[in-house]
Amino acid sequence: MPALIFPVLTIFSAWLFFMATRLYTTPGVGAILAEQARGADPPKKSFFERIVLPVVRRLVPGYRFAMPFSDRRKIRQRLASAGDPYGLTVNDVVQLKVASVLLTLPFALYFGLTYNLAPSAIVVLALASAIPFFFLPDIVLSELAEARQMEITLALPDFMDLLAISITAGVGFDLAINNVVARMRGPLAEEMERMLRELRLGNPRRYAYRKVIWRNDSPALRGFFSAMIQADELGTPVADILEWQAQTLRHARIQEARRAGAKASTKISLVLSTILLFSLTGVILATIGLNLFYGNATALFGG
């Protein structure tokens, strides 16, 4: 019996080592453990992640029949642009589209019974409401992607300035990105970290750059990595490209702000004119109504 203790302990230790390695290599666990080590609570899941998404995954059947009506490649690209929110997959988005359509059925039935509509009218109402609800997850996902890409565009000039300073000081390109990203937060830092992970896995540099271009719709970020691809092919100094692109982006942002300001003045004038028109119309109608109510219509109209 004592002879079995050492083999059992060895196997148990090997099993613990395997489980610990698997735990620490799980995506996202390292960040959670680091936050816990600093005394911070792990990020709390939203109501959508805790309740809505598991219910949809479990109860919405037959999502495959909706696949012909959905562009899987476009949904995958939009999820990547939005940063894969809530851990959604392409199948999850399609199931949410089906769930949105199914939710229109009880509402159509309720309105039909409330207003005593004919069965054919209830069917028409359900079909008419199902069409826009089928595309509701796509609209929400597009809004999330647009907001994330806007954050990336706004953060890119400062990132390129810091990167140019690091490269000019003699730091390598990958190490400079790593140092800058370590002091940043937000979608741009996430994209750069993902790109560095792909490079560490041995992927070609051009492949990693093109993956970033595919995942993001930001013209500024796409232009940045397109310039990096050209610099890698032609051997152009990266620091000069970064400084030029940062100045170009800031100039474009200033021009866009000026155009938005010019449009805003026109919109403000239109809104003020509309408010004044309705206010004057309301005053005139109120005066006529008061005179009619108190019997002074003859004096008002001169009759």
Residue 191 has pLDDT above 80, yes or no: yes
What pLDDT shows up at residue 1? 47
Give residues with Cβ within 8 angstroms of 123, minimum separation 6: none
**74-83, 124-133, 234-243: range with highest mean pLDDT:** 74-83
Cβ atoms of 149 and 217 within 8 Å: the answer is yes
Taking 60 as the threshold, does the pLDDT of residue 38 lie above it?
Answer: no
pTM of the model: 0.68
Does 215 score more than 50 pLDDT?
yes
Encoded tokens for 22:
């698997």
> How would residue 300 be classed by pLDDT, with cut points 50, 70 and 90?
very low
The candidate with the shortest Cα–Cα distance to 88, out of 116, 65, 57, 113, is 57
With CA atoms as reference, report the closest residue to 101 among 58, 71, 131, 123.
131
What was the pLDDT predicted at 98? 87
- Cβ-Cβ contacts under 8 Å for 299 (sequence gap 6 or more): 291
For residue 125, pLDDT beyond 60: yes
Q: 67 vs 1, which has greater pLDDT?
A: 67
- Please state which of the four CATH numbers 1.10.3470, 3.30.70, 1.10.150, 1.20.81 is assigned to the domain occupying 149-252: 1.20.81
Note the pLDDT of residue 148. Answer: 93
Domain boundaries of the chain, sorted by first residue:
50-134, 149-252
- Residue 182 scores a pLDDT above 80: yes
What does the alpha-carbon distance between residue 253 and residue 138 come to, in Å, rounded to a whole number? 28
pLDDT in tens, 19-37: 555 554 554 545 555 555 5
Task: Determine contact, residues 29/23, Cβ cutoff 8 Å.
Answer: yes
